Structure 1
Amino acid sequence: MHAQDYLAAIVFGLVIGVVARLVLPGRQNIGLVVTVIIGMLAAVAGTWVADHYDIHSSHLFTVASHRYDWAVVGVQVGIAVVGVAVAAMLARAFTTDRDR
Structure 2
Amino acid sequence: MGVIAWIVLGLIVGLLAEKIVNGGDSHGLIVTTVIGVAGAVVGGWLATKLFHVDDVKGFFNISTWLTALAGAVVLLLVFHALTGRRSARR
With structure 2 as the length reference, what TM-score do the two structures score? 0.62
Match of 2:70 among 68, 78, 84: 78
Aligned residues: 82
Richer in strand (by share):
1
Unaligned runs of 5+ in 2: none
Classify the secondary structure of the residue corresponding to 2:60: strand
List aligned pairs for 1:7-22, cutoff 5 A: 7=3, 8-22=5-19
Unaligned runs of 5+ in 1: 61-65, 94-99
Classify the secondary structure of the residue corresponding to 1:92: coil
In 2, the alpha carbon distance for the partners of 1:50 and 1:40 equals 15
With structure 1 as the length reference, what TM-score do the two structures score? 0.57
CA RMSD between the two structures: 3.3
Higher Cα radius of gyration:
1
Shift of 1:56: 7.6
Identity percentage of aligned residues:
28
1:22 aligned partner, one-letter code: K
